[in-house]
Structure 1
């Protein structure tokens, strides 16, 4: 069966790494076009070297191709507000890697299947993709009352766009922890670490629950979730065994589940320490391939 055709809008670093991911990992989706607005961009040059059609006419090049059904938007939130309407009018499904969040937040192993018919989905943030699955893994064993998530990334892996919109990314991550992960309350704390050599992305989840919990069941649930994520983000792993902290929490005499993990990039285009960027492109690639599978009429997004 022929693959569904897709395109990447945005020939910067995110779009370029996503192009490599798609070429390597996707079984159901073929990236047939990389579109940007800078004719001299490295991304467009690399696309041509890989035999992928490249255009500096931006979204117009995508809209003019009726065979393209799925579009990854790796531009900016401001641009996506306009792109989203144009893509919807052209009946092209949009996977949004910007903070615009016009469509529902999607984290592949948690809620992708719920949104298989959406025409626009948002990939949240790097912290959201890394930590929402862990919160959900706890929540399917016991209700999560409050969560603190702390995400640390190498300063070199944080671009100017993220720095300018860090408050928005923080709110987006916290919202995903609640609305997708299932926590009642949440707080997200980002840390940009300037250490040399650059550190890998590391995350800590502190999840307070209101009742006694089966510790073995919680740990098993977390480990299964880590395996699910690592199927499409190979560098996603636990830094140590999760545990339940029975000391008094700020919320009362309730236990808290503590999880620490790290994300190492695959080195497709970004350096391996940039796991925060890698998990975004890997997650988007997974979503695109599953949407293509859905359009082809194959049942079950995780099969």
Structure 2
């Protein structure tokens, strides 16, 4: 029998609903406690009710009013950066550990392939979909050589970008840029998101450009391959679209990097594709799938730590 820690999901939209299904199907240590929304007619709340999960359309205040709230140890917030700030204050006051799927970046940035084992904060920020897909590649290059500049371009299907994503474009680019530097190890980072209106919708595509010190190309390629395998362990649809490309930037023809000036070295170009698992979202929505998959990995790690320490607000349940 496995002990389970009860969780609440705040946000009954696409991301929250997909995460709920992942918790119920794939989690090793989590159990759904409550689904929280603000639209009584949302499909997410309706599905949760059919699954026998406690629901409320009263937002964070409605969650606190549920009987099951006393047993909630971890809450996933899949709303917006603005709403998350209040949600976090309320949840922290009740001793609930928070996993933030918005770009609010209140807590430390967490990307499972890079630093999940090292973080155990009261609020864990999952960066952004583009960050989850691309920053592991920057970190893989950083393991081999000093990275001076890293630029990522995340292209997602327009249909997979809901109101929360569209309302947080500025936060997306800033949070991703900061995480490229903090987790990826780049001296300077840049992030761009593209909403692709193509029909039929295309799966998530990501491009990573890294300028590093000149070093052994084979070592970088092997480091990237190991990192791709690590990400695939929790996001099976994550893959290289083609072989890693290299260009030597000579001192005679340096690249002018804003804020850093002219630089030479090795330019590494990596092209990625992320296909979703289609638990709730369509398979082209890899941008949403990688966020929910990363959040699930984070939640399971939090639960394992609580189980090992015997810490639970409402007592752990045996399944």
Give the TM-score normalised by the residue count of structure 1.
Answer: 0.93
Superposed counterparts of 1:132-281, under 5 Å: 132-210=135-213, 212-248=214-250, 249-250=254-255, 251-281=262-292
TM-superposition CA deviations, 1:68-99 (whole Å, max 9, x none): 10000112222211111111111000001112
| Structure 1: distance between partners of 2:206 and 2:125 | 21
Q: Which residue of 2 aligns with 1:94?
A: 98
Superposed counterparts of 1:36-55, under 5 Å: 36-55=37-56
- Alpha-carbon distance, 1:59 to partner: 2.1
Secondary structure at the aligned position of 1:149 is classed as strand
- Alpha-carbon distance, 1:157 to partner: 1.3
Which protein has the larger Cα radius of gyration, Structure 1 or Structure 2?
2
CA contact (8 A) 2:80 2:168 kept: no
CA contact (8 A) 2:81 2:168 kept: no
CA contact (8 A) 1:215 1:243 kept: no
- Alpha-carbon distance, 1:16 to partner: 0.6
Superposed counterparts of 1:54-69, under 5 Å: 54-64=55-65, 65-69=69-73
TM-superposition CA deviations, 1:132-164 (whole Å, max 9, x none): 111001101111011111111111111233223
| Structure 2: distance between partners of 1:159 and 1:170 | 16
Q: Which residue of 1 aligns with 2:313?
A: none
Moved more, 251-260 or 25-34: 251-260
- Alpha-carbon distance, 1:183 to partner: 0.5
Does 2:25 match 1:14?
no
Structure 2 residue runs without a partner (length 5+): 256-261, 310-319
Does 2:131 match 1:120?
no
- Alpha-carbon distance, 1:61 to partner: 4.6
Q: 1:109 aligns with which of 113, 126, 151?
A: 113
Secondary structure at the aligned position of 2:189 is classed as strand
- Alpha-carbon distance, 1:239 to partner: 0.5
Does 2:77 match 1:73?
yes
Moved more, 240-249 or 197-206: 240-249
| Number of aligned residue pairs | 296
Secondary structure at the aligned position of 2:282 is classed as coil
Give the TM-score normalised by the residue count of structure 2.
Answer: 0.89
| Structure 2: distance between partners of 1:283 and 1:58 | 24
| Structure 2: distance between partners of 1:59 and 1:150 | 34
CA contact (8 A) 2:113 2:231 kept: yes
Alignment root-mean-square deviation, CA: 1.5
Q: Which residue of 1 aligns with 2:295?
A: 284
Tell me: CA distance 1:77–1:138, structure 2 relative to 1, closer, same or farther (3 Å).
same
Q: Which runs of 4+ in 1 moved over 6 A?
A: none
- Alpha-carbon distance, 1:51 to partner: 2.6
- Alpha-carbon distance, 1:232 to partner: 0.9
CA contact (8 A) 2:79 2:164 kept: no
Moved more, 75-84 or 122-131: 75-84
